Every structure is written in C-alpha cells, then in structure tokens.
Structure 1
Amino acid sequence: MNGSDQPDVLLDVPTLSVDEITLDVQNLQAHLSLDARVASLVKLTAGVDVSIEKVNLTIKGVDASALLVVRLDNVRAIIERTLTTLENNPQIVDRLLESVDNTVNTVGGVANTALLPGGVISQTVNTLGQTVQRTVDATGNIVEKTLDNTGKIVSSNNVGKLLDLQIIKETTNAAGQTVRQVRDTSGGIIEATLDKSGKVLNSKVISNGSAK
C-alpha cells in the first residue's frame, strides 16, 4: 500500500484465536457518526445506528482474521474544493460575516429592550415581519415599540399607564410600600412597588401576555 493510498482508518487483525466466548446482551445501542462542515456552506453527516435486544451468543474454537479499511477521500475532496472556492472568492466570507453581524445586532437589540425597567410584557410580529414589544418604562408607562429585523427601533409610543391597569392583587411589604399586581390588555401580569404617594418605584413582568 503506497503513501498516497493510505486509508483514513485501518484496522488489521491478522490472527484471532478463540476457544470459547459466552455473550448475553439484553439491550445494546451504538451510534457511529461522521460530521464534517465548513462554516454554513458544506455539511456532511454520515452515521450508523445499531440497536440490539436480548442476544445469547456462544462461540468455541475460532481462528479468524479481519481487515477494516475506511477511506474518506470524497469527504476530503469536497472540503478542499470548498476551501479553495473561499480562497478564490473572499467576498463569500464577507457575506457570511455580514449575516453573523446582522444576527448579533438583532439579538442584541431584543435583549437590550428586554432589560429595560419592567421587562417585556408581550411580543408579537406584525404583518411587515417587524417585532412589536410592549414594555414598562421606569416611570410606569406602557410603551409599545416596533423593531425592524436588525433590532433597530422603528417607532415607540406610550399606550397606557401601569397604574391604570386592572388590579388583581395588592399587598404591603415590610417597608410599608404597596406591592400591586396588575393585568395588561395583552394578558401580561406586572408587579409594581409604589411609595406612599402612589409613585411607581420599580416594576417587573410576572408573566408575559399572549400574542395579538
């Protein structure tokens, strides 16, 4: 076997001598897989699944040899061609990086909105494919924001006040402050802490509302 014809996996058992083997297997599951990929351009997956239940095997006096040769030339060739294409066409990599950057911006924009005081009451998608979020700001206003697919705020409007929502529960904490739970028109439940004058000190979303 010359150097250029070397296999990727070689298992050579020239001699195997067995006098007696007793095997009792109830349940055996095995998975052999190959996963090769280059960015999001090429993905090759090959696998073998084996499942055995209740096997009783007895072997006596065996003399055998085994040879296993595995070659992955086709897989290697596909990956090499892909890398060559990327090298000759660097604009493909630029496009991939732009896609990643847009995804990060979108996730970052949504995450930043979710971290605003009060949190996200509800989140829907309008007919234009834009994300519409209802949040509570620091002063207790219900704010509805529309974001494009990059996470940029397209519009923002105050649509109500926390103190005007339906009260479903009210208690007093150890500091003498009023802790009030209210229900938004979207169905979301918000808990707000008020001072003695009725001013909103802080708020948080207990449960999100349903989609419109």
Structure 2
Amino acid sequence: MSAAPILAAFRQALSEAWAGGAGALLPLGFLGGACVLVPLGIGTEGETLRAVGPGILWVALALSSLVTLERIFQADTEDGTLDLWLQSDAPVAAIAAAKTLAHWLAAGLPLALASPVIALMFQAEAGPALLVNLGLYALGSLAFFFWGGVGAALSATVRRGGLLIALIALPLFVPTAIFGALAMTGGPGSEGAPMLLAASSLFACAVAPYAMAAALRLAAD
C-alpha cells in the first residue's frame, strides 16, 4: 500500500476547503450568527442563558459543520479524481478519512476553538472548565464532520446536495449532540457523558470512512 494517494488527497482537501475564499469563515459566521440570535428570542437573563446555552451551542455547532461538507467529494466525482482513487493501491476508506480530516482541520477545529468564546455569551463561567469544554467541542465536531462526510459521499453526484447531506447526517449527529450537551449541564448522568462523547467520536472515526468508501464506489459506478 502506498501512502502517496492519501497524502495527496489530504493536501488537495486542505486547498479545497479554502476554495472561493470561504474556508473557516463561513462556518464561523454561521455559528456566531445562530448563537447571537438566541438571546434576542429567549431574553438575556443569566440563569436562562446558562440553562439553554450548552444545548443551543451544540446544535449550532452541528449545523455549522454542514456548511462546507458539500465540497468534500463533489469535485472529485466530476473531474475523474475518484476513478483514480479507485484504481490506486491505497484504501478508499483511508483517502476519504484523510479528506474529511483535512476539512475538519480547516473548518471544524476553528469552530471548536471559537465555541468557548461563544459559551461566555451564554454566561458560562470563565475558568479552567472552558478548556475542558474546548476538548469536548473538538471531539464532537470531529464526529460531526465524519458523519457528515458519509452524507457528502452519498450525495457526491448530486448537484446542490447540501439539503440531502443534512437529511442524511442530522440523525447521525443526535447522539453526539446529546452527550456533548449533557457533559456540560452538570445534571443527572453528566458524569459519564464525556466518556460517551469520546466513544461516539471514536465510533464515527472508525465506521464512517468505510461507509464513505462504499458510497463513493457506488457513485463511481
């Protein structure tokens, strides 16, 4: 097995993630806009914002991760790159994982880094807990991107497939969003929520690449 196609796919995906000048700016703008609008609808009382903040932030994080997923595999099916992958001696699952990881580094990691700052808008206490939450956001966003990659692979041959990606990926986001929000609420069952969130992300990283590979093979037929 040669690692050259995997590295080439990774570099290509990094450049694609910034194509058109968007990069991380569009998902960050979506995340910030969604979270800024919430206090306008529910009020600015500190207790209310602290209660709903974790859930709102995780939902906004999940939706923001969908913004750039349409670009992961669509161009490769159009210009013949996908056929070259299938003919190479590198596993298609590894190539798909590399491209998804590159998009996460370009867009998902900035979302995770911005999330603690936005949490302060919901009256979260400034302190070491924000750094812990940053790690949880990074884990969750990784799962969101890998499950979203499955939707992107299934809709790779569909023009304007953003809606289809959302319909496929959003049900897969539910466990990660639940465990992530529960880990930050401090309510009943929150003690084991970080481990469940980590398990959910590891499961996504282990299973999603093979699902993406199967979908891409169908797209090439």
Instruction: Give the structure with the larger strand fraction.
Output: 1
Q: TM-score, normalised by structure 1?
A: 0.23
Q: TM-score, normalised by structure 2?
A: 0.23
Instruction: Give the structure with the larger helix fraction.
Output: 2
- Structure of greater relative contact order (alpha carbons < 8 Å, 6+ residues apart): 2
